[in-house]
Structures are given as C-alpha cells and as structure tokens.
Chains A and B, each alone.
Chain A
C-alpha cells in the first residue's frame, strides 16, 4: 500500500497558500495524499484540494479555528493523527505551520524537521534535505521517533501541478475544550500594500541596509517601473522601519524565484540568501567587494548604489526610447 502523506491546508485571504498546493502535489507523487482543512473555507475549498492531488479531506468549518490561535487546530490534528497514523504530515514553514508543529512535536515527543527543501520516504522513515545555515551548508536529516513524521516545508520547494482526485470529504468534530480558547484572535488588520506584488513577479529589485533610508526606496521603485518589476527588501531594511514587512524577502519573509533579481546595497546574509538564491539571474550592486552576495551573482558591480542605480535607470530609459 502506498504511504499516506497528509498536508495541513492553510488559507490566506480565503485562498490556499501556494505552499499548500505545492506540498499536495509532492505528497501525491510520493504516495497517497490527504489533506486536513480546518476553519471556514471557500465553498470550493475541498474541490481545490482534490484538484491538486488530495484523495481525502478531513474537514471542519468550525470558526473556533479562525478565532483562536493554533491550539484548537493542534488538538484536532493530534486526534486525527492518533486515529489514522499517516506516515508523514507536511506543514508549510509559515507562522501557523510552525506553531502547530511545535505543539505536536512536543505532545508526541517525536521531534520535527524544519526548513525542508526536499524529502524522500525510506523504509518507514523520511530523509529530508535542509539548506542548513541558509546558503553555505545543506544537510540531510531523519526522524528516529516512532509514528507520524512531521516536516515543515519551505515555500517553492516543489512545483504545484493539478492531479485531480475524486472528491472525498470526512467531516471531523471541532475541538471544543474551553482550555483551547486561551489565545483569542480579536482583530485582523490589513496594511495597505503599494505597487505590484512580489509573489509571481518576473523581476524583483531589492534593497538592503546599504540603501540607508526609507526615501531611497523611491529609486528602486523607479528601476522596478522601468523593468516592469516589483520591489522587495531585506530583513534589515524592514526592521529599520523603512518598508513594510510584506516586502521582506528571506527566511522569515517571502521566498521568491523571479527570472531577474537585482540586489541593491545587500550584503547577502544567510537570512536573505535563502529567500532568493534560486532566482534565475542575480545582479548585485554593493560597495563591499567581499560581500557574500557576489558569490551568488551572475553579474556584480562593486560600487556606490546611489551612482550605479541612477545611471542604470537613465541608460534603460535611453535604450528604451532608442
């Protein structure tokens, strides 16, 4: 019998996160893919999961999963695991995924592997590849505990492909215990985003500490406009308050894979590299010739970002009108 691999389905703004569908595709390739879908979801939610390879969906639409953080979801997933014993369960390396895996791994005393870039099933266990320490080393790890193996999977580790399965849904009872309602989600506040989205952008212009301030991101915006791209940033730039978190690329931000990535004033910290190093072409501009980013660049310019970028913009405009 094929190994049963579960995927925790996660929604963001009423849509499944891309990682959910990527994990389902991979699970269906390796074995029998099944999904757990908790909380209110769009009407065609289960159908979408089946379309990407889920041959069964365990579902509860109870609002407790939306209104209270993680604890109700962890409780229900734990009960389901104990009942059905899937070989592996995959979670996205997201806030929700990490919280649930932390809870389950402690509860079952089974551990977990974080930041998984790829995995194979081997004799009842799992071997996962992790780009440890970001870009400089990678390791292969396994879990020696009994029972379901818990993996946190990086975004864009796999490609999502449709693989339609007949729709099969099992309704599960919602987590009801009062003790699970301690962390209350009172309000969701959306912060307005400007400019094109990073997700799916073919060209990304990104800025780091070397940009020195919020106002200088306008220069990157101009370059992005000329090339038809989106603007991103490093954690350093976000932590400094120059740009919002939605623009953060890296381990704690978004993982991107554009055709062209232009890194401006970015040294290439592990945190950042792991979110963009698989871009097709990387160009970097940095004043420090020793900056690690140059080792990952197809073309690098050691120089002043405030001279090189304006000249590039001017040159692109000139060639465009020529």
Chain B
C-alpha cells in the first residue's frame, strides 16, 4: 500500500521561541530544526504498516530550507522518498493554506492512506488533518491510538474522553494519529547512509497549481492582529531542598490556609 505521511519539521525543543514583531510569526530561519516528535510517530506508523503489508512511505512537508535536516531524519528512519514544499510565497500560511498545499502535493501521486499527526508540537491547531481530508475527498479518521489495516478497510482505536472507540472506514482514508501511538525508531547508520541517496522532490505553490491569493500570508483567512506576552503570573518563591523541602511545602500550605 502507498502511504503518505504529512509531517512538520519544527524548531528543536531546546530552542527558545522568538516572535518577529514585524511579521508576527515565529522566527524559524537559522534556528536548529528537528522532525516534530508527533510527525516521527506518524512516520513510524507508516513504516510499521508497510513492513506488514508492503508498499511505500512518502513524507510530505512544507517549510524553509532549514527543515531539510528533519526530512533526512524521516528518510533515515526508512521513509521511501520525500516531498518538500519550499517557496517564500507560502510563508505565513494559515491552517487552510497549509492544508491546500499539502492536499495538492498528495494528489500528485497515488495513495491508499494518508497519515498525519493529530497536531504539531509547535502550534497545536489540530485542524489541518481534517481540512486535508476534505480537499482530498477521503474520510477523516482522527485521534487514532492504534491502526489495523485489513484488505480495503481500516480499523482504529480512537481516543475518547472515557476510553476509546472502535472506528472503521474504507480506504483510501486519512488517519490522524495521537502522540504515544508508538515509540519512533532511531535512525541507524545504514539508514542514515541510505537517506543521502533518497529523492526529495521540491515543489513551489505554482507547481501545485495554487495561486498567491490562496496561500501564504495573502491567502490567509486568519490574520494575526497583535502578538505579545500574556499578563505574567507573579512568580513565587523557589527554594532548594536541603533536607527540609517537604516541610517547607507544608509551611506554605499552612500559609495559604489549605491545611
């Protein structure tokens, strides 16, 4: 089966996020990037399914040239090939613009299943997978914590408030996986070497047939008016435990009249 994984490459967890006051966007250029752990889980799930059922895994991502490191990481894990939407014109895309671009890139090749992370670890909107499914005209099967594929049918365990639901859909479909669905593998040396020879196709918005009024900042339906620091909580007292830490907490609880 041909699996497409949509995943994001984001500033590494060690990076302190700065906002550019002019563009009101996160500063991404020149910052260390990594494959989003949520995307790594989506890649891992794709690899496990193809190990069982055969087929290919193609990673599709969008971002500045700094994200190549994350694409290589997915290829080193074992993804067959990758597609990189690389275009200054797509900067500032909102969720809808992003979904249009990803859906257009997905449509360039045949697929049985699209796997996305439920949400990226840097912006958490959680609606891009459902938007992509709509543009592709395939059913969205979201919040999966387990996937089983059987012939032309996919069954998932879907996270619910009180446990999980068993949900079934026909293929092709789009599945959004929740974090924790698996433990992504670390690339091995052999995989890292092989990744260097794997193909990364690069597309611009024009290549994907999307005019400027549909993508990037111009096409964004959501406009950021202002960005700033929220009112800060007054930080309290921090002590270092020198054998009395528990007692000091008890004293504080007495002070705020909890005990």
Contact = CB atoms under 8 A, between A and B. Distances in A.
Our verdict on whether A and B bind, yes or no, reads yes
Nearest to B249: A312
Interface residues of A, number: 93
B189 interface: no
B51 interface: no
A102 B226 contact: no
Interface in B57-73: none
B166 A281 contact: no
Interface in A268-309: 271, 277, 281, 283, 285, 289, 294-304, 307-309
A184 B166 CA distance: 9
B127 A309 contact: no
Interface of B: 17, 19, 24, 26, 94-96, 99, 118-119, 121-131, 133-135, 139-143, 155, 157-170, 173, 178-180, 220-230, 233, 235-241, 244-250, 252-254, 256, 258-259
A13 B162 contact: yes
Interface in A82-139: 93, 95, 98-99, 101-103, 105-107, 109-115, 127, 131-139
Interface of A: 12-13, 69-71, 93, 95, 98-99, 101-103, 105-107, 109-115, 127, 131-145, 152, 182-191, 193, 203, 227, 235, 238-241, 245-246, 251-252, 259-260, 262, 271, 277, 281, 283, 285, 289, 294-304, 307-316, 319-320
Given A69-B167, A113-B222, A139-B227, A315 B142 contact: no
13 contacts: A69-B141, A93-B126, A95-B158, A101-B127, A102-B131, A103-B134, A106-B134, A139-B224, A139-B225, A144-B222, A238-B180, A260-B258, A310-B246
Given A95-B143, A188-B160, A136 B17 contact: yes
Nearest to A100: B130
Given A113-B222, A283-B249, 14 more contacts: A99-B142, A109-B221, A114-B95, A138-B230, A183-B167, A189-B163, A191-B164, A246-B163, A251-B119, A271-B124, A283-B253, A303-B245, A308-B245, A319-B254
B250 A189 contact: no
B162 A307 contact: no
Nearest to A94: B161
B139 A152 contact: no
A300 B258 contact: no
A289 B168 contact: no
Contacts of A304: 241
Top 7 A-B residue pairs of the complex, sorted by shortest distance between their CB atoms: A102-B130, A303-B241, A111-B221, A311-B246, A239-B180, A312-B246, A191-B163
B202 to A, nearest CB: 25
A316 B247 CA distance: 8
A98 B224 contact: no
A285 B241 CA distance: 9
A187 B166 contact: yes
A299 B234 CA distance: 11
Nearest to A184: B168
B238 to A, nearest CB: 4
A103 B222 contact: no
Contacts of B247: 311-312, 315
Contacts of A140: 224-227
A308 B135 CA distance: 53
B124 A308 contact: no
Contacts of B141: 69, 183
Contacts of A136: 17, 229
A116 to B, nearest CB: 11
Nearest to A297: B236
| Most B CB within 10 A of own CB, among A107, A127, A312 | A312
